[in-house]
Structure 1
Amino acid sequence: MSGPSNCPVAALSAETATPVTDVTWSRADETFTEEFRVDSDVAAENTTALADADPVLEVGDERVYQFSREAGPDATCACEVVESLGHPLADVRVEGGDLVLTLHLPGVERLQEVVSDLEAVADDVEMRYLVHAAADGEGRGDRTVVDRGRLTERQREVLATAYELGYFEYPREANATEVAEALDVGLSTFAEHLAAAQGKLLSETLAV
């Protein structure tokens, strides 16, 4: 998801283009505390993005930071929003200013609830991939995780336009030239983006 704008971890990642990992949090009484690690050199060069966070200690080449705020019924922290719904987060990381959350849910209806609440505090919410699995391991079929995050925005646009125009239908409702014209690109550029996007998707779909 993009933002939230009040998250110093997201702000740091957006300014430095550096992924931030090992994000953890805790709540004591009415205080919500979040902790994360970042490269010491990156931290030294981006003090503005870390203005709301306090340095705790140095661990090798990394610096550990914490920031706290009052917890309340009107949560504006994405992590707090998800956990307030009773869903523990399995992993939290930040890439290019986007907060990436991993969580395990019992059903799609719970996912809709989480997305709805996150949209109230984030600039944009997007599901990168969804994995269905039976709790007992049965009836799983032959499912594969496909990470749409591997595609560039241009590759997504090319795939979406080609799909909408019927390029993948049989017989085709639009040829490569027509799709390229709709995208306002040359035929070779369209073919290049399409091949790259299909290659990424197939490498995950057919991976053993």
Structure 2
Amino acid sequence: MSGVRTELVFEQAEGCPVAVASAAVPDPVTDINWTDGDGETVTEQVSVGTDGEFDTDDELPPFEPVFDYGSEQVYEFDRDKTDPCICEHIQATLGPVTDVHARDGDLHVTLHASDVTGLRDLIADMSDDFGDVSVEYLVRSVDTDEESELVPVDLRTLTDRQREVLETAHEMGYFEYPRQANAEEVAATLDIQSSTFAEHLAAAQRKLLDELLGA
């Protein structure tokens, strides 16, 4: 059996009240959970590790304090059940989410999936519905007759430019055989010199290979 554990980041997820509210506090919003309310609403609770009140935008549903741990507070709010929800969409399409937190307006969702193709399709579908989606972390499990191993791929080791170069090259088919785009074409899309493209690509590949071979 082969599956993946991944963390998806929905950048500036304006359709998610928790993500939007997280931009107003210095610490991450964690322990996000939800349940059906009166049939027409969904009740959500979140934890905020910060001092003072959890101020939110006037256009958001009111976040009411529920419990105070001292260094962390729990808040609750109700939203319309018909409002599009990133996490509910993932659960209905692919399966349960493992962890959800929000930071600086971004929503981070961690999940396990046995169907890698389904995960790829989910990302493409949600990009259309919810805006920019990036893969922050990916771990693939591989079971063989002799052993089971985890192969980690942590994209956080890459700089923003290295990641952009790698993703653009992949999208344009640079790594396909035969290639669907050459170095000059990818570099032109990125508006950089071919030599600069080669440098960024080599650095990105070296970092990823160091992780894979080191693991």
Q: Contact conserved, 2:24 with 2:56, CA < 8 A, in 1?
A: no
Out of 86, 102, 112, the position equivalent to 1:94 is: 102
Listed as ranges, the gaps of 5+ residues in structure 1 are 167-172
Structure-2 residue corresponding to 1:205: 212
Give the number of equivalent residue pairs: 195
1:118 Cα deviation (Å)?
2.4
1:17-51 CA-to-partner distances (Å, cap 9, x unmatched) read 5322222222245232221111232x537443876
Name the CA distance, whole Å, in 2 between partners of 1:86 and 1:205.
Answer: 27
Specify which structure has the higher proportion of strand. 2
Structure 1 residue 149 displacement after superposition = 3.3
Counterpart selection for 2:28 from 19, 24, 37:
19
Amino acid in structure 1 at the alignment position of 2:159: T
**Alignment partners' CA distance in 2, 1:183 and 1:107:** 35
TM-score by length of 2: 0.65
Instruction: Give 5+ residue unaligned stretches, structure 2.
Output: 1-9, 175-181
Percent same amino acid among aligned pairs? 38
Superposed CA RMSD in Å reads: 4.2
Tell me, yes or no, if the aligned pair for 2:98 and 2:111 is still in contact at 8 Å. Answer: yes
User: Which letter does structure 2 place at the counterpart of 1:11?
Assistant: V
The question of 1:133 aligning with 2:127 is answered: no
Quote the residue 1:66 is aligned against. Answer: 76
Contact kept in structure 2, 1:35 and 1:65, CA below 8 Å: yes
Of structures 1 and 2, the one scoring higher in RCO (CA 8 A, sep 6+) is 2
Q: Deviations over 1:41-81 (max 9, x none)?
A: 2x537443876322211112111111211223xx5110111
Question: Which of 64, 73, 78 is the aligned partner of 1:54?
Answer: 64
Q: How far apart, CA to CA, are the structure 2 residues paired with 1:34 and 1:84?
A: 18
In the superposition, relative to structure 1, how do residues 86 and 194 fare at CA in structure 2: closer, same or farther (>3 Å)? closer
